[in-house]
Structure 1
Amino acid sequence: MASDMPMSAELEQIDGEIQDIFRALENGFQKLDKIKDSNRQSKQLEELTGKMRECKRLIKEFDREIKDQESRHAPDVNKQLNEKKQTMIKELNSYVALRKTYQSSLGNKRVELFDMGAGGSDPVAEDNVKMASDMSNQELIDAGRKQMDETDQAIQRSKMVVEQTIEVGTQTAANLKQQTDQMGRIVNELDTIQFSIKKASQLVKEIGRQVATDKCIMFFLFLIVCGVIAIIIVKVVNPNNKNIRDIPGLAPPAPTARRLLSAEAFGSLG
């Protein structure tokens, strides 16, 4: 479907994709007439429906591009582009109407256009219908009872699973509560330990200050003792030094010369 009106590169690309889809739809519906199998017809109809959705999306994109470029085109060009858009919509609607026609013809075979995987009759279901037609009333009753028994057993198993799940959930909740309580106790113990560590740190600091004070006192006492010893030594070595007072309790040593004279006098008398 060629066009002689001036279009931008974006519009030409979208128009080309739309025309390709229209050709694919035309060929697809022609092939649909030749298909006899309902399953293949349903699958072909689903593929064509997907192409229609894509075509609808492209027409909306074409309309947005027209509106975006409206200020750059002359009024007659905008009119032609809008007419082209309407033509596209009409052509798409014609295929939509054709799709509805095929959908109606396939309705008695439970074909749903927008349900992927829809098909014809189930061979297993047909076999079950044939088997049911060949069974007597008593056999049908027995088969129904058997099916009911199996259903009851399945329900019972489901109840057991539910009860086990509830029991496990209850046990899990109890374990979680126990672990939560244990975590609370651990947190309290950690707080107590932290308080004890803080008190111990303060006590260590106080002991350190006391030790430092005791060391200072002992150092001053040591200096005093050293001073006293030094005075004693100086007094003993130089007793005539008047600059040093006599230490109480320590008598000054007797003069050496006087002791010598007393010894000579005692010797002469003898």
Structure 2
Amino acid sequence: MADELQMSPQMEQIHGEIKDNFRALANGFQKIDKIKDSNRQGKQLEELTGKMRECKRLIKEFDREIKDEEARNPPEVNRRLNDEKQSLIKELNSYVALRKTYMNTVGNKKLELFDMGAGGSEPTAEENVQVASSMTNQELVDAGHKTMDETDQAIERSKKVVEQTVEVGTQTAVTLKGQTEQMGRIVNDLDTIQFSIKKASQLVKEIGRQVATDKCIMLFLFLIVCGVIAIIIVKIVNPSNKDIRDIPGLAPPAPTRRLLYLGDRVGDFE
């Protein structure tokens, strides 16, 4: 059972001691029926009461170990360990109810009644003696049954708490998984954006270099056009300037003087 529950070595030791005490309690109550002397029966009940106190202490230690290991164990393991703890409590309460039954039949001084319930203060030995003395055998049995019912209810409440804890843990795991996937997508988007920014920067640099080249070409063409225009203007203004060659496609200026000479000759013919 300890291996199936995946207990720590300390928890296995405590669990084993509890089981040993339970076997001793079972054997002890069987022996009471064979004992005829009431004094010996009372001593036997005292020994069994001591073992029940020891079981109660061990169960509390077992519960502390479960809480210490809770953060390191999966939810399913914690649930099974808590179920095992409740099973131990239920078994111990059955011996408590059986002890109450035998206490009513024994005429010796009654000892402290044992109760595993949490929250209230435990009654003193004198108060338990008075209560046990005033109760009938059937009332003691009914009280034991009531204690077992309360224990069953506590077990059910614990199961509900465990189920709610497991459900919350599952929802948390799903939420964390979704957030992890979302973070992964965000990282991928950031990588894509960074790559796009890098490509855009390279493209802007290339466009800048191309624009600078185009400006140089335009400036060079503008200078050529200005030079051509200047040559044309100079040629028109001073056609006799031999330092400037004729521009291809541009006719030389008309010889004004020769036209006048020809005009005079035409007049002579008239």
Other-structure match for 2:241: 241
Whole-Å separation in 2 of the counterparts to 1:128 and 1:221 = 119
Say how many residue pairs are matched.
150
Provide closer, same or farther for how the CA distance between residues 141 and 123 of structure 1 changes in structure 2, counting only shifts above 3 A.
closer
Q: Counterpart in 2 of 1:178?
A: 178
Task: Write the distance in 2 (CA, Å) between the matches of 1:238 and 1:139.
Answer: 145
In the superposition, relative to structure 1, how do residues 126 and 244 fare at CA in structure 2: closer, same or farther (>3 Å)? same
Q: Matches of 2:143 and 2:123 in 1, distance apart?
A: 20
**1:31-79 Cα shifts (integer Å, max 9, x gaps):** xxxxxxxxxxxxxxxxxxxxxxxxxxxxxxxxxxxxxxxxxxxxxxxxx
Compute the displacement of 1:217 (Å).
0.6
Instruction: Give yes or no for the alignment of 1:257 onto 2:267.
Output: no
Identical counterparts, % of pairs: 78
1:221 aligns with 2:230: no
Q: Hey, what's the Cα distance between the residues in 1 that align with 2:229 and 2:182?
A: 69
Report the Cα offset of residue 269 of structure 1: 4.1
CA distance in 2, matches of 1:260, 1:133: 166
Give the structure 2 partner of residue 165 of structure 1: 165
Q: State the one-letter code of the partner of 1:211.
A: V
Q: Which amino acid aligns with 2:237?
A: V
- What secondary structure does 2:198 align onto? helix
**1:70-85, aligned counterparts within 5 Å?**
none
| Mean Cα deviation higher: 158-167 or 128-137 | 128-137
TM-score normalised according to structure 2 size:
0.52
Q: Distance in 2 between matches of 1:230 and 1:181?
A: 73
Q: CA deviation at 1:234?
A: 0.3
1:191 matched to which residue of 2?
Answer: 191
Q: Which amino acid aligns with 1:180?
A: T
Equivalent residues in 2 for 1:92-103 (5 A)? none
Distance 1:142 1:267 in 2: 164
- What is the deviation of 1:131? 1.9
Cα RMSD (Å) = 1.9
1:124-165 superposed Cα distances (whole Å, 9 cap, x missing partner): 554343122101010111111111101110111001100110
Q: Distance in 2 between matches of 1:146 and 1:123?
A: 17
Runs of 4+ displaced beyond 6 Å: none
> Displacement of 1:219 after TM fit?
0.3
Residues of 2 paired with 1:214 and 1:236: CA distance?
Answer: 33
Structure 1 unaligned blocks of 5 or more: 1-121
Change (3 A) 1:123 1:187: closer
The alpha-carbon deviation at position 195 of structure 1 amounts to 0.9
Q: Summarize the alignment of residues 50-129 of structure 1 with structure 2, pairs less than 5 Å apart.
A: 126-129=126-129
What residue number does 1:107 align with? none
Distance 1:253 1:130, change over 3 A: same
Quote the residue 1:141 is aligned against: 141
Q: Which runs of 5+ in 2 are unaligned?
A: 1-121
